[in-house]
């Protein structure tokens, strides 16, 4: 079980063959690496599954390999145009997850040097088309763990800066608390050579371009997002997990966030968020165990509005009314604005 979706294994993968499994997308949500939060967002699971399926199908039509096999209805994986009702279950090809070992205060990735096929690449690739307020880039710049030059910039960026071309960032994927790393380290820990790293970057840019154009069609700006990948049984890079959703990306409408960033902004105003930051500074690996407070549930009305955001985005991006009686996104965002302004 993950923090927001569950995995059912149908066939285990091996070193020679990919397996088969199903993601069951839940109404749970997670912010700031906490894991499952104290309440749920109605309809979020099905809305996210459909949106993820939409982008996987679009990418497959472009000739890009993914692990997506369909959304499940009556026990059978189907493409979106074959579904009669919304589904929260996605059938996928499964890869092996090779967890790095722990040594001293770090991690041992030596196992990846001998692996060749059917495994999850232990990296998250983040594309950034802008640097909206709240972007982790500003924290890293303030801490001096990166410089503007590391990002390809010639001066300190301001919140809201647009990036053309986009920045590609990379972080670990399988550590207790993921950390940003250089592309050189990314290649070393994952066993990717320069050609494969270039393929990874090019693939991320193509995904970014597709998501950006499709969301622009409903008036949204694609600020940033993440991509996860793996190797198939012929060591071809394939897209895995899910992408293009409101959990994997940050979108804005007239400067307002249209993603789970809405929940992040709410929680940044709470004592719990300050406790999380303090705990992470004191113990990067076991910070949750020493965090002094736990999060409260969302205000009921804000929770209802976030649900509407997920449902209406899925309706509008796919061009199909999967969820009836949901107001247009523009209308919902007008009320959400009142919760987000000081």
Comparing C-alpha atoms, which of 273, 271, 261, 268 is closest to residue 336? 261
User: For the segment 228-241, what is each residue's pLDDT rounded down to a tens digit?
Assistant: 999 999 999 999 99
With beta carbons less than 8 A apart as the criterion, state whether 48 and 71 touch. no
Q: Which CATH class is domain 5-340?
A: alpha beta
* Residue 342, pLDDT score: 66
With beta carbons less than 8 A apart as the criterion, state whether 312 and 329 touch. yes
User: For the segment 104-137, what is each residue's pLDDT rounded down to a tens digit?
Assistant: 878 999 999 999 999 999 999 999 999 877 788 9
Sign of the dihedral defined by the CA atoms of residues 162, 165, 171, 174, in that order: positive
d(CA 196, CA 206): 15
Tokens 């071309």 -> residue: 165
CB-based contacts of 151: which residues, under 8 Å, 6+ apart? 137, 157, 167
Spans of the chain below 50 pLDDT: none
Domain boundaries, the chain: 5-340
Burial of 275 (0-12, 13-18, 19+ CB in 10 A): middle
| CA distances for 329 relative to 88, 139, 306, 309, 341, angstroms | 21, 31, 10, 6, 18
d(CA 50, CA 247): 13
* Residue 3, pLDDT score: 76
The per-residue pLDDT of the chain, averaged, comes to: 94
Sign of the dihedral defined by the CA atoms of residues 221, 264, 341, 167, in that order: negative
């Amino acid at each position: 079980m993950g923090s927001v979706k569950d995995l059912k294994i149908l066939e285990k993968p091996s070193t020679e063959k990919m397996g088969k499994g199903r993601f069951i997308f839940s109404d749970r949500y997670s912010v700031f690496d906490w894991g499952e939060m104290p309440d749920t967002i109605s309809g979020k699971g099905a809305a996210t599954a459909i949106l993820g399926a939409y982008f996987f199908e679009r990418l497959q039509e472009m000739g890009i390999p993914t692990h997506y096999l369909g959304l499940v209805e009556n026990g059978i994986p189907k493409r979106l145009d074959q579904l009669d009702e919304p589904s929260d279950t996605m059938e996928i090809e499964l890869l092996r997850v090779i967890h790095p070992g722990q040594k001293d205060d770090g991690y041992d990735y030596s196992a990846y040097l001998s692996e060749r096929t059917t495994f999850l690449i232990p990296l998250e690739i983040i594309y950034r088309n802008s640097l909206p307020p709240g972007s982790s880039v500003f924290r890293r710049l303030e801490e001096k763990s990166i410089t503007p030059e590391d990002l390809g910039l010639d001066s300190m960026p301001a919140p809201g800066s647009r990036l053309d071309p986009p920045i590609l960032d990379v972080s670990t994927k399988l550590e207790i608390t993921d950390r940003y790393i250089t592309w050189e380290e990314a290649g070393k820990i994952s066993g990717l050579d320069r050609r494969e790293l270039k393929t990874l970057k090019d693939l991320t840019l193509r995904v970014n371009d597709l998501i950006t154009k499709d969301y622009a069609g409903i008036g949204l700006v694609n600020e940033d997002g993440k991509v996860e990948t793996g190797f198939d049984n012929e060591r071809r890079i394939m897209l895995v997990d899910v992408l293009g959703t409101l959990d994997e990306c940050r979108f804005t409408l007239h400067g307002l966030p249209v993603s789970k960033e809405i929940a992040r902004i709410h929680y940044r105003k709470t004592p719990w968020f300050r406790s999380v930051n303090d705990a992470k500074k004191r113990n990067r690996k076991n910070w949750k165990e020493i965090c002094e407070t736990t999060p409260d549930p969302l205000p009921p009305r804000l929770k209802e509005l976030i649900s509407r955001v997920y449902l209406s985005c899925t309706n509008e991006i796919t061009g199909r009314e999967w969820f009836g009686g949901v107001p247009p996104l523009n209308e919902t965002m007008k009320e959400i604005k009142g919760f987000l302004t000081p």
